Structure 1
Amino acid sequence: MLKQIRIVLVNTTHPGNIGAAARAMKNMGLADLVLVDPKRFPDPEASARSSRADDILEQARVVSALEDAVADCQLVIGTSARQRHLSWPLISPRQMAALVKENTEQQAISVALVFGREDRGLMNEELALCHYHVHIPTEESFSSLNVAAAVQVLAYELRVASMNEREIMQAGASAESSVTAGLANQWQSDWDTPWADGDNMERFFDHLEQTLRDIEFYKPEHSAQLMPKLRRLYQRSRLDQTELNILRGILTATQKASRHRAD
């Protein structure tokens, strides 16, 4: 399970936070780190704060956009400290861990946990790339959480979820189990088709937008929220690759029919 999980840090300002996040990852058995347009990396301060997690920093990939970081991932979960204008499926850290465990036990999928900027978190456009948003329930009067601390909280929940009861007891942790049945029952125990990854989902959304423009259903100047709401609908549905191919086929047929009528 843990080998299938990627930690993504977006536009991190302070290199010390990158190092501290790498340390948190190594503490909990995570190793895949991707940095999206960091302000300073590599940097000696990142290495100093990593506390012997230098191997994670050395293997970390740097990309220019979040789309590149999650292109090959079939489940993307973004961290969100606040409610947004456009609501999205919101889960707790423990629900997140149960969800990841359920999905990784079914298929050899890649999972991305996305963490935003120190001062602003993730932008709405970035959160729209995620299937779920996870919120750490901090004290309301002091809710600001350091990005490395957020990584530590979620990484801990993932580690506990990956262990069996005997391992938890041996590690001195609580054997309490908190699996959310509502989330777990959304998927069959065996799924016969791979989930669609981020790259194919973005191609689909581009195709969907173009088709809706072609048939004059979507006019951005009149319906700015249409595409974000459709994105939320399809992301919440968790499309597999076959379902995505069917939808792309419908869109192609719709475009052909529209052109035929125009002729």
Structure 2
Amino acid sequence: MLDRIRIVLIGTSHPGNIGGAARAMRNMGLADLALVAPRCDPKDRDAFSRASGALELVDGARVFDSLEAAVADCTLVVGASARSRHLPWPMVGPRALAESLPDALAPANAQAALVFGREDTGLTNAELQRCHRHVHIPTNPDFSSLNLAAAVQVLAYECRQAHLALDTTPADEEASQPFGVEWDNPPASHADMERFFVHLEKTLTTLEFHDPDNPRQLMARLRRLFLRAHLDSMEMNILRGILGTMDKRLAATMPAAQHDRPSKRSDSGPDDSA
């Protein structure tokens, strides 16, 4: 299980935090570290110094330009956030998250990503909306600021406890599958979901159901809906097929200029009310 959990750090500004996160991962048996647009040199000596015996994790960390690229192959993406949001999103605690991972990672193609934001500002709204759910570490409300490496340590620890619990679980429960049964198709990847959301927004814009110039929270709410459903690959193909058929019908009945009207991404702005 642990070898299919990726730690993703976005916009890290201090190399020591990269090293500290790597050490926390190594302590708990995690080895997949991804860095998204780091604001420091990931190979700075402070990173290796803080990593202590986890130098190979720092040296082998993959660097990506965007969150989408870092989690493209993942089937479960969880964003660590302490932010109060106007649009509620599925939220779990560290232990509940870890206890859900054995089932979530049961399919052969399953891969989970735990995403951590910048030391100063955390994750943006757009980044949080690309996560299936959010995890909140319940800190002291009078002093809630948590060091990045410490946050990684908390979640990595809970993941390891869930992994160790598998050794004491009866064999028939170890073979459990998502939703309590052996599912007939693997889960859709994050890249598949992102292509679906782009297609959905384009079709809804053509239908004039969605106005890119006044998006409100439509696409954010639709993201929440479909990510909460945790679609499998066949369900994704069905939805893309429905959209494709709608596109063909629209192309046959609407002027070309209207059908080709460009859409703008609407889910990266502030949380305005719906």
Opposite residue 220 of structure 1, the aligned amino acid is: P
What TM-score do the two structures reach when normalised by structure 1?
A: 0.90
CA distance in 1, matches of 2:104, 2:254: 45
Matched residue, 1:255: 247
- The CA deviation string for residues 67-110 of structure 1, in whole angstroms up to 9 with x for no partner, is 10000000000001122111100000001101112211344411
CA distance in 2, matches of 1:12, 1:234: 29
Q: Is the 8 A contact 1:215 1:255 kept in 2?
A: no
- Tell me the CA shift for residue 43 of structure 1: 0.7
Q: Is the 8 A contact 2:107 2:177 kept in 1?
A: no
Confirm whether residue 11 of structure 1 aligns to residue 8 of structure 2. no
Query: What is the number of equivalent residue pairs in this alignment?
Result: 248
CA distance in 2, matches of 1:222, 1:68: 28
Q: Is the 8 A contact 2:104 2:178 kept in 1?
A: no
Confirm whether residue 56 of structure 1 aligns to residue 74 of structure 2. no
CA distance in 1, matches of 2:150, 2:205: 43
Q: Is the 8 A contact 1:106 1:189 kept in 2?
A: no
CA distance in 2, matches of 1:22, 1:62: 14
Matched residue, 2:230: 238
CA distance in 2, matches of 1:37, 1:3: 23
Q: Is the 8 A contact 2:18 2:47 kept in 1?
A: yes
5 Å matches for 1:22-61? 22-40=22-40, 41-61=42-62
CA distance in 2, matches of 1:125, 1:163: 34
- Tell me the CA shift for residue 166 of structure 1: 7.0
5 Å matches for 1:1-150? 1-40=1-40, 41-150=42-151
CA distance in 2, matches of 1:45, 1:158: 27
Confirm whether residue 227 of structure 1 aligns to residue 198 of structure 2. no
CA distance in 2, matches of 1:262, 1:104: 44
Matched residue, 1:201: 193
SS at match of 2:216: coil
SS at match of 1:35: strand
CA distance in 1, matches of 2:31, 2:23: 10
CA distance in 1, matches of 2:208, 2:32: 43
- Tell me the CA shift for residue 255 of structure 1: 1.0
CA distance in 2, matches of 1:106, 1:222: 40
Opposite residue 161 of structure 1, the aligned amino acid is: A
The percent of aligned pairs where both chains have the same amino acid is 53
Gaps of 5+ in 1: 168-176, 178-183
Distance change (3 Å), C-alpha of 1:121 and 1:235:
same
What TM-score do the two structures reach when normalised by structure 2?
A: 0.87
SS at match of 2:235: helix
Opposite residue 36 of structure 1, the aligned amino acid is: V
- The CA deviation string for residues 179-221 of structure 1, in whole angstroms up to 9 with x for no partner, is xxxxx99713321111111111110000000000111111023
Q: Is the 8 A contact 1:17 1:147 kept in 2?
A: yes
CA distance in 1, matches of 2:166, 2:250: 58
Matched residue, 1:159: 160
SS at match of 2:208: coil
CA distance in 1, matches of 2:199, 2:187: 19
- The CA deviation string for residues 108-146 of structure 1, in whole angstroms up to 9 with x for no partner, is 411000000001110010011100100000010111101
CA distance in 2, matches of 1:259, 1:31: 48
CA distance in 2, matches of 1:63, 1:185: 32
SS at match of 2:179: coil
